Copies of this chain bind each other. A is one copy, B any other.
Amino acid sequence: MADEAAVRAQADTVRRLKQEKAEPDEIAKEVAKLLEMKAQLGDEGKSKFVLKTPKGTRDYSPKQMAIRERVFNAIINCFKRHGAEVIDTPVFELKETLTGKYGEDSKLIYDLKDQGGELLSLRYDLTVPFARYLAMNKITNIKRYHIAKVYRRDNPAMTRGRYREFYQCDFDIAGQFDPMIPDAECLKIVHEILSELQLGDFLIKVNDRRILDGMFAVCGVPDSKFRTICSSVDKLDKMPWDDVRSEMVGEKGLSPEAADRIGEYVQLHGGLDLIEQLLQDPKLSQNKLAKEGLGDMKLLFEYLTLFGITGKISFDLSLARGLDYYTGVIFEAVLLQQENDHVEESVSVGSVAGGGRYDGLVGMFDPKGRKVPCVGVSIGIERIFSIMEQKVEASAEKIRTTETQVLVASAQKKLLEERLKLISELWDAGIKAEMLYKKNPKLLNQLQYCEDTGIPLVAIVGEQELKDGVVKLRVVATREEVDVRRESLVEEIKTRTSQS
């Protein structure tokens, strides 16, 4: 039998021969030897199975799930506060459904293997499936949220909350409405959620694709290069301007003059004052698209003023957003600094929400090209999870992972049947109850289990209690014990746990 070391040595031989550009048939002979040795390894090779989740993915433990539920509840409550319905779509779509929607990011889509039948891909976001859903069901008017996992074959950076499988929490408003009213609500939602989660200071950057396109036009970017130059601008939050400029000029063939003109604009950020200033800008104000975008941006800021949230909003000309489908307002929320010393900076700073207007996407699916204007926001939950996890870790807070109200315990041996009868009564009455799965557990072990898991009450059956028709109810925190008549037990437990 070949052993692993021999296989490795043989592989080295093959590699060396290739490097030395040996005769092809000599290499072929050694390769054949190698393959034979590998085949001989057989079962042993099989046992080398690595016990892990796929790259860029993770499990959630019960404790992580408890934190996740908290974050989800805050987000879902906000979406419901704004009157959203909820939908769900399949985890995969026809490959064609995703084609041509994501620009340069398309290479990150997970495809399914062709096993005979339709060609499928895992969803890359929740926006394209939403647009497909609207077109398919001829819906022209809906406000919905959707919370689900999406998939991107990106370079994972898990300590910073970047995964290949991750949740998106999307809220979108579809329909033909008066300008900027739904757009303003999306920003209000981001503001509400980030405020409620107490993640520290944040800023919501806002821009408009029409302003960007107008800017590209007046800077002398050819029409055909708008989208790719837009992708470059999008990298400004991760790369310095000089590198972005090199990419524009070097890789993307933009003239240095045009790049420099862009460079001047993308430094600008501010509020209503900047909008007014640009509306007076001799070049931009001559461009129809830019003028439209700036007019709407002004309206948006007026509405945000009524909402009282302009303090955290910045009109930022460097914001571009990577995705192809945006047509109007775009925005992105970033965490600014750590509020909490225990949270590592790498986790606490960066984008946690984004979105914008995509008036053309539904029309790409509609057989007659009918458009349904849409605007929406996506909350990126993974980074928020990471921050919350680190906060909980650093705090003294003990998180319960179950809601059990009472442990059904026995004080003596041979009472399994009595425990089973009692717990069955409690379950049927809606009480959350557990018992140890042992015939004769020690009372100490039963009490310890309550300490470990945070169960507040113990219902103890013993021979004397059975005779007396009572159950001994013990409060774990105080060690107080009272005899409760069996028929009053359910009420007693409900009363004592009603605050939780």
Contact = CB atoms under 8 A, between A and B. Distances in A.
Interface of A: 47, 49-55, 57-62, 65, 68, 80-94, 96, 110-115, 117-118, 120, 122, 132-133, 135-137, 142-144, 149, 151, 153, 165, 173, 175, 177-178, 181-182, 184-185, 188, 192, 303, 306-308, 365, 367, 401-404, 416-417, 420-421, 424, 427-428, 430-434, 437-439
A120 B55 CA distance: 10
Given A80-B402, A91-B151, A307-B420, 8 more contacts: A50-B94, A62-B144, A68-B88, A83-B404, A90-B165, A91-B122, A110-B113, A111-B112
A433 B51 contact: no
A90 B188 contact: no
A306 B434 CA distance: 16
Contacts of A113: 110-114
A365 B367 CA distance: 49
B427 A51 contact: no
Given A54-B118, A135-B51, A84 B402 contact: yes
Given A53-B90, A178-B437, A82 B427 contact: yes
A487 to B, nearest CB: 17
B117 A110 contact: no
Contact of A59 (B90, B181, B365): B90
Contacts of A144: 62
A356 B133 CA distance: 38
Contact of A424 (B135, B165, B188): B188
Contacts of A151: 91
Contacts of A428: 192
Given A90-B54, A437-B181, A192 B81 contact: no
Contacts of A132: 51
Contacts of A55: 117-118
Contacts of A135: 51
